[in-house]
């Protein structure tokens, strides 16, 4: 059985960083990516380092479409207006 690839939207916030770290520490789970708003200073930062874990070589992006396409599951920790947008993306992803 393959690892569960989990993405995190809102990965820069306190809870987003905690969730990313928990994914990295959980056997059978892989941190598939993380997103932030296009104007966030976290875009381009290393996702692992941002979460306080090891450097992953995976940058934070501002592209939720790609995150949903590359993830088996996505944990959303953004504002309610974005959650609706992300739910639509999830419904479109297979």
pLDDT digits (tens, 9 = 90+) for 40-94: 999 999 999 998 888 988 899 999 999 999 999 999 999 888 999 999 988 888 6
According to the model, what pLDDT value does residue 94 have? 67
Alpha-carbon gap, residue 37 to 29, rounded angstroms: 25
pLDDT digits (tens, 9 = 90+) for 19-39: 999 999 999 999 999 999 999
Q: Which residue has the tokens 């993306």?
A: 89
Residue 3 DSSP symbol: P
Residue from 30, 35, 40, 41 nearest 16 by CA:
35
Half-sphere exposure of 92 (CA within 13 A, CB side): 12
According to the model, what pLDDT value does residue 54 have? 86
Is the pTM for the entire model greater than 0.85? yes
């Amino acid at each position: 059985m393959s690892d569960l690839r989990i993405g995190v939207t809102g990965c820069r916030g306190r809870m987003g960083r905690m969730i990313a770290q928990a994914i990295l520490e959980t056997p059978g789970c892989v941190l598939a990516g993380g997103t932030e708003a296009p104007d966030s200073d976290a875009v381009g930062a290393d996702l692992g380092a941002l979460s306080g874990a090891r450097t992953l070589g995976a940058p934070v992006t501002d592209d939720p479409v790609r995150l949903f396409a590359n993830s088996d599951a996505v944990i959303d920790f953004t504002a309610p207006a974005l959650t609706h947008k992300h739910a639509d993306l999830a419904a479109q992803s297979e």
